[in-house]
Amino acid sequence: MDEPADPLQTALAIRNACIRAALDGYEQAQIAGLCQEGAWECAIDAMRRLDLTTLLDPAATAADSPPPPRGPASA
């Protein structure tokens, strides 16, 4: 029998997935040439589209890791 997931770990995984989705959505929007407001809307939409069922699967260990470090926006 599987042990129930730790609620704190589940919450952290969901938060990290939302952060990754928002950062990726924002970055893609900026690359596409959207303004700041448009990029922000894309970041919010990316979080809305996030498939949370994969995060509730105990085998989904990649979601438990923190988001990757971000470099400077302009290089």
Q: What are 29-56's pLDDT values in tens digits?
A: 999 999 999 999 999 999 999 998 888 7
Mean residue pLDDT across the chain: 80
**Backbone phi, psi, residue 62, to 5°:** -65, -30
pTM recorded for the entire structure: 0.66
Sequence-distant (6+) residues with CB within 8 A of 2 are 58
Q: If you average pLDDT over residues 9-15, what whole number do you get?
A: 91
**Position with higher pLDDT, 4 vs 17:** 17
Q: Which two tokens stand for residue 61?
A: 């260990």
Residues 73/24, Cβ–Cβ less than 8 Å: no
